[in-house]
Amino acid sequence: MSATIDLNRTQASRYGQTQQSSAQATSLSRVVTPAAMPALIPASSALTSHYIDGQTQQYLRISPTAGLEDFDNSLLAVETIDTPVAAQLLLAAKQLRTQCFASSFGVVFNDDLDSDDYDEACLHIVLQQAGQVIATARVLDSQRAALLGHFYSENEFYLTPLLKPYPYEILEVGRTCIHPEYRNGKVLRLLWQAISQVARYLKVNAFMGCCSIPIGAGNINGWLQTLAQVPKVNIRPKYRLPPTILSSAPTIPPLLNTYLKMGASISEQACFDVDFHCADVLVWLPFEQVHPRYQHLLGGM
């Protein structure tokens, strides 16, 4: 059955104040790894992209031509799939997040699952191959962020100097992760294409988000100061990184490296993520700032 769903349709009362997750000594034994996940959608060797509204837990199949003729129409024409399937896909995405973030940062989660209040407000992008969830990201647009009272990144940075003077419709990208066995250019490109598809339909014109780097990866703030050719945004972190004796530059995560190649601006300093115990670098990417050679990642926007 076809339906038209307004992704901005929310009630502010649905979302409580975001709770900080505490790192309790819990076991990850109940986490289902991607290799053990059932085929939630009929198995295919091809990479497929799925979209799930965290508020309604509806599976959204975005038509390749939906809304292209009417650029004043902010609604998405979608096909609604069985809700239990969408809920299973979303759970599998959270389990992949849990596995990746526990491995990368040593964080443990309440109830052995990476889940917070922002999940309900966000649209979730899930990549699947042969029945396995292999990559995921969640996105939050300006209107839903306004109902929540803030973007996720505002928990870590004082963003008023950045956001107040600019008339941008922002899509915040977060919780991005790819299964270790599938971390290659093909999967990253498909994930970008899926994010860009959402950005096009929501008519946003800037990406924002935090990219995480393990604290022990190197002298992160020292490395940021060496990036003289990279544009910076004049914002302050709410939590400073702990002192480091490391002098080497950190290994840059592929996602952050892609942002830098695209022409993104970044924060002058990293913020200490008190939940994940890692360093977060803010990324700010208005679409007019994207280098021409990477415009194809925006899907012609």
By mean pLDDT, which of 59-68, 105-114, 156-165, 204-213 is the weakest? 59-68
pLDDT of residue 43: 53
Burial of 34 from C-beta contacts in 10 A (0-12 / 13-18 / 19+)? buried
Residue 54 CA to chain centroid, in angstroms? 13
Higher pLDDT, 166 or 276: 276
Alpha helices (runs of H) in 48-173, residue ranges in sequence order: 83-105, 118-121, 142-148, 160-163
- Section 71-92 average pLDDT: 68
At residue 81, does pLDDT exceed 90?
no
The pLDDT value given to residue 142:
92
| Higher local confidence (pLDDT), 239 or 201 | 239
Q: Is the pLDDT of residue 44 over 70?
A: no
CB 78 within 8 A of CB 3: yes
One-letter amino acid of 89: L
pLDDT at 182 over 60: yes
34-298 under CATH 3.40.630.30, yes or no: yes
What is the model's pLDDT at position 17? 33
pLDDT at 283: 98
pLDDT at 139 > cutoff 50: yes
Q: What local confidence, expressed as pLDDT, does residue 89 receive?
A: 92
At residue 35, the pLDDT reads 36
Return all residues near 124 (Cβ < 8 A) that are at least 6 apart: 51, 52, 53, 54, 90, 93, 136, 137, 138
Closest alpha carbon to 236 in 271, 278, 277, 211:
271
CA–CA distance, 171 with 141 (Å, rounded to integer): 5
Write down the residue that tokens 């100061």 correspond to.
225
What percentage of the chain exceeds 70 in pLDDT? Answer: 76
Mean per-residue pLDDT, 287-292: 93
Find out whether 14 and 55 touch, Cβ atoms under 8 Å. Answer: yes
pLDDT tier, 22 (very low <50, low <70, confident <90, very high otherwise): very low
